[in-house]
Structure 1
Amino acid sequence: MNVIQTEDGSSTLFNSEIGEHYHSTHGALQESRHVFLNSGLEFYLNKQAQQAISILEVGFGTGLNYLISADYCFHNDITLNYTGIERYPLNKEILIEVDNIKHISPTIGNEFLAHYEAAMQSQITTKAGKLLINVCDVINYKSNNKVDIIYFDAFAAAHQPEMWSQETLTHVCSYLKTGGVFVTYAITGNLKRIMKSMGFSIEKAPGASGKREMLRAIKQ
């Protein structure tokens, strides 16, 4: 696992086993903010203002999407209930090397590093709300709760086609509330067909730097 500096000055990881970066090399932070924070969390809250929000992330990775979301909620007095799914969690030492916490308030960043390993054992209470990281295959994830937003941040279909299958997406989206928002950096004809077959309305939004479009879908 190699740490790579991206064009916006933030860092990401390169997984040499599958030949894939964890984030866009055009800007890890810019991509996460655009695709997930702006097009997901802020979009949802602009539609229906809430003081509590729940997010399910597929592909927790370095925790960057969590960190920027928790930081946003902390500064806007919104209680965040965040659940991540990650089959291969990174060691804390790697997260320290990537240093995502420099992009957010120390209150949220330092707390995350201090309790990262505990969050993989059970749900923890944070300054922003709650965090749980499920170490499992996504298809084996089970919960009694539904969420407002899904961040779908799996590796690309070229490297992990099973993550973008009808079976996986149907399973994941079963945990999304009606009116909930699904966002991902990718947009393909197959993905759009699958989402439409599940009754989602599809929105093609401008992509992050280096990508023309991304996908946002609303559960009807």
Structure 2
Amino acid sequence: MKRELIQTGDGSWTIQLPDWDEQYHSKHGAIAEAKHVFIQNGLQHKLASGSISSLSVLEFGFGTGLNALLTLGYARQHQIKIEYTGLEAFPVQQAEWQAMHYSEMLSMSPSDFEAMHQGPWEEPFAVDPKFTLLKRQITFDQLTASKEYDLIYFDAFGPRVQPELWQRELLSKTYEALKPGGVWVSYCAKGDVRRDLQALGYTVERLDGPPGKRHMLRATKP
């Protein structure tokens, strides 16, 4: 499938799939979307729920590594220890992630981003004393996890192009993977997804969305 790089509304870059008319991040702002959805309404929200010194994060859709890089920066700045697992069946190519220039835009060392992408798959490695990364090259339905994670970033391609990734059967894997009190967060606000999350037992909130999007969803496991 054809892939090309495009610059988004906030000046940051992402990968576009023209055949699907779909992007890895919002065309209104890749970094702005990631910060709003996953950091502000995911990570910061979860950390505000109590005195937390360490956290386990699972990302569905590691993609360009932007969400992981932002999480690393937050962990380092706030001295929170994070164990981060990213699922990605089709890893991006070196030429693609190098062209993103996220480190420069976030005033971070390029070596952080390089370490994330050049590190091994299927085994955890330390990017920073406060951040351990495990990259798994599997499809989402291959995940088997039970009460292992505090926070899930659900950053799959949208329901319009890959509806199978948003079905209740797959969403149930996220519910099983979370610890009690765990949080699921996504840019998606589709009504069917919200209702399926509720049917699984989540408490679901519809929140203000990132630039260019009216709403997003956050769900909490009781």
Question: Which residue is equivalent to 1:117?
Answer: 118
Which stretch of the first structure deviates more once superposed, 82-91 or 113-122? Answer: 113-122
Deviation at 1:24, TM superposition (A): 0.8
Q: Residues 106, 45 of structure 1: CA spacing in aligned structure 2 closer, same or farther, 3 A cutoff?
A: same
Q: Please state whether the residue corresponding to 1:40 is helix, strand or coil.
A: helix
Gap runs ≥5 in structure 1: none
Question: Which residue is equivalent to 1:199?
Answer: 201
Gap runs ≥5 in structure 2: none
**TM-score by structure 2 length?**
0.94
Q: Which runs of 4+ in 1 moved over 2 A?
A: 16-19, 103-107, 142-145
Contact 2:126–2:133 at 8 Å: present in 1 too? yes
**Quick one: distance in 2 between partners of 1:178 and 1:121?**
26
Question: Which residue is equivalent to 2:218?
Answer: 216
Query: Pairwise CA RMSD of aligned residues?
Result: 1.4
**Quick one: distance in 2 between partners of 1:144 and 1:204?**
26
Alignment of 1:78 with 2:77, yes or no, is no
**TM-score by structure 1 length?**
0.94
Q: Residues 89, 27 of structure 1: CA spacing in aligned structure 2 closer, same or farther, 3 A cutoff?
A: same
Identify which of 154, 157, 173 aligns with 1:155.
157
Contact 1:67–1:104 at 8 Å: present in 2 too? no
Deviations 1:149-207 (A, max 9, x none): 00000001010011001111111221111111100001111111111111111111100
**Quick one: distance in 2 between partners of 1:29 and 1:115?**
17
Alignment of 1:30 with 2:24, yes or no, is no
Contact 2:147–2:180 at 8 Å: present in 1 too? no
Give % identity. 35
Give the total of aligned pairs: 219
**Quick one: distance in 1 between partners of 2:163 and 2:70?**
27
Q: Please state whether the residue corresponding to 2:198 is helix, strand or coil.
A: helix
Deviations 1:66-125 (A, max 9, x none): 100110111111111000001111012210011222233534x41331352324241111
Identify which of 106, 113, 123 aligns with 1:104.
106
